[in-house]
């Protein structure tokens, strides 16, 4: 474990008894008190995640918008300061290089939040494009001198209200604001990777040996959160929560051979915004249609489909492969995602999954998997 990366909060995780594992080169908490309890805490109350392993680039300067407009598929020009959006970066064939969130924190200043596994790739790619096309920008990697916490769950709104006031706690989704909490300025956004109401809190300018600003923030969140059933949560709960919400995990559910249309996130592609990398290929696919789609699968009985398991039609033909799968304590059974031919992608279509030599029944299911009147951000929207 000596050569692996550690977030600035690694010692906090160890002191709280977290099970530490390697993920995308980082030593991260898998769980603290137990995965199921942490999932239920987020769905019913609130959970706090250290997501500082995700890449954070600050892109600023006169051409910051133009650069991001060219390398991403969503329309950055629609982001006024204080807004954020979900997007993808694609290659020339329309394949997804990364799925990300872009935060606009100033007229000429953005934060690009990448996946942990793609940070180095995207850093090289964005800098290469900026240099080749002569964009007047400054790009800095703030990953190692900043932290990022995710406060998620229905009670996160009340917790944030006590931490930062009603103006922040009542922010609409995909908004971002510079806010003082626990004596220091934070970048607070409201996006979420769990499907629940929640906030991301970025603290910039930390010292690697002494993340004083973030430690004070955690102390304050813990103090307030005690009244709301707050739990520290690890990667295992985060993975189940995002799967229940139908959200992509890059390298599992999308990669450079997958387009946003195939991944069923076509809303991130704005073909009418002008030129961007991959536009020609994506415009062609939009016109011709896709041959496969990412879908949700709900298992029957107690079987759990895992990444890599094969999917078959009812008459025994191999038609796809599971990209993500786990047991959902909210749905009460195994749930999964897979890429299936379009003709098998409609909700209600029955398929089979090969699990340790047995053919187990499954059905194409809507995503999110949970009842949105009981769980998820829409219940309180």
User: 179 near 217, Cβ under 8 Å?
Assistant: no
Tell me the C-alpha distance between 104 and 86, whole Å. 12
Q: Provide the 3-class DSSP secondary structure of residue 227.
A: helix
Tell me the C-alpha distance between 320 and 258, whole Å. 14
DSSP annotation of 171: P
DSSP annotation of 311: E
Model confidence at 102, pLDDT cuts 50, 70, 90, reads very high
Task: Name, in order, each residue with C-beta under 8 angstroms of 43's C-beta and a sequence gap of 6 or more.
Answer: 153, 154, 196, 241, 330, 370, 375
Q: Provide the 3-class DSSP secondary structure of residue 204.
A: strand
The secondary structure of 2-48 as a DSSP string is TTSEE-TTHHHHHHTTPEEEEETTEEEEEESS-HHHHHHHHHHSEEE
Token couple for 177: 């604001």
Give yes or no for residue 381 having a pLDDT over 70: no
Model confidence at 51, pLDDT cuts 50, 70, 90, reads very high
User: 118 near 91, Cβ under 8 Å?
Assistant: no
Mean pLDDT of 280-301: 97
* CA-based max dimension of the chain: 63
Q: What are the start-end ranges of the H helices in the chain?
A: 10-15, 35-44, 64-71, 119-132, 156-164, 166-169, 212-225, 235-244, 279-288
Model confidence at 380, pLDDT cuts 50, 70, 90, reads low
| Interval 158-181: pLDDT, tens | 999 999 999 999 999 999 999 999
pLDDT at 1: 46
Give yes or no for residue 2 having a pLDDT over 60: no
DSSP annotation of 254: B
Sketch the domain layout of the chain as residue ranges: 5-52+144-243, 291-381
- Specify the CATH architecture of the domain 5-52+144-243: 2-Layer Sandwich (3.30)
Model confidence at 191, pLDDT cuts 50, 70, 90, reads very high
Mean pLDDT of 177-200: 97
Picking from 188, 150, 135, the residue whose alpha carbon sits closest to that of residue 49 is 150
Token couple for 191: 């996006």
Q: Phi and psi (nearest 5°) for 10?
A: -55, -45
Picking from 25, 40, 303, 19, the residue whose alpha carbon sits closest to that of residue 194 is 40
User: 377 near 155, Cβ under 8 Å?
Assistant: no
For 95-155, what is the HEC assignment?
CEEEEEEEEEEECCEEEEEECHHHHHHHHHHHHHHHHHCCCCCEEEECHHHEEEEEEECCC
Give yes or no for residue 42 having a pLDDT over 90: yes
- Specify the CATH architecture of the domain 291-381: Beta Barrel (2.40)
- Mean of per-residue pLDDT scores for the chain: 97
Give yes or no for residue 223 having a pLDDT over 90: yes
Tell me the C-alpha distance between 282 and 287, whole Å. 9
């Amino acid at each position: 474990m000596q050569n692996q990366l550690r977030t600035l909060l690694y010692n906090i995780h160890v002191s709280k008894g977290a099970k530490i594992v390697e993920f995308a080169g980082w030593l991260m908490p898998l769980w603290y008190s137990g995965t199921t309890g942490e999932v239920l805490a987020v769905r019913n109350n609130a959970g706090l995640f250290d997501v500082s392993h995700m890449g954070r680039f600050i892109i600023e300067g006169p051409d910051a918008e133009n650069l991001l407009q060219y390398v991403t598929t969503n329309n950055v020009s629609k982001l006024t300061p204080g807004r954020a959006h979900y997007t993808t970066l694609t290659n020339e064939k329309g394949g997804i290089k990364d799925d990300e969130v872009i935060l606009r924190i100033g007229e000429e200043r953005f934060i690009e939040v990448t996946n942990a596994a793609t940070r180095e790739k995207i850093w090289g790619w964005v800098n290469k494009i900026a240099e080749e096309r002569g964009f007047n920008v400054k790009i800095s990697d703030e990953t190692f001198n900043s932290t990022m916490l995710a406060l998620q769950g229905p009670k996160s709104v009340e917790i944030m209200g006590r931490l930062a006031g009603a103006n922040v706690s009542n922010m609409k989704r995909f908004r971002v604001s510079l806010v003082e909490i626990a004596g220091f300025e934070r970048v607070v956004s409201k996006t979420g990777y769990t499907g629940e109401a929640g906030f991301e809190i970025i603290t910039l300018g930390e010292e690697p040996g002494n993340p004083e600003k973030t430690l004070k923030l955690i102390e304050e969140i813990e103090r307030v959160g005690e009244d709301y059933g707050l739990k520290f949560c690890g990667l295992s709960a985060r993975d189940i929560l995002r799967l229940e919400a139908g959200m992509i995990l890059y390298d599992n559910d999308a990669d450079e051979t997958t387009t946003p249309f195939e991944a069923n996130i076509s809303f991130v592609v704005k073909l009418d915004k002008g030129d961007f990398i991959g536009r020609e290929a994506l415009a062609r696919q939009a016109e011709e249609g896709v041959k496969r789609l990412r879908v949700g699968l709900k298992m029957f009985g107690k079987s759990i489909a895992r990444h890599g398991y094969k999917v078959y039609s009812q008459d025994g033909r191999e038609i796809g492969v599971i990209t993500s799968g786990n047991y959902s304590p909210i749905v009460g059974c195994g749930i999964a995602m897979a890429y299936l031919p379009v003709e098998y992608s409609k909700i209600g279509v029955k398929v089979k999954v090969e699990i340790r030599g047995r053919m187990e029944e499954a059905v194409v299911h809507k995503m999110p998997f949970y009842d949105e009147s009981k769980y998820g951000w829409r219940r309180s929207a």
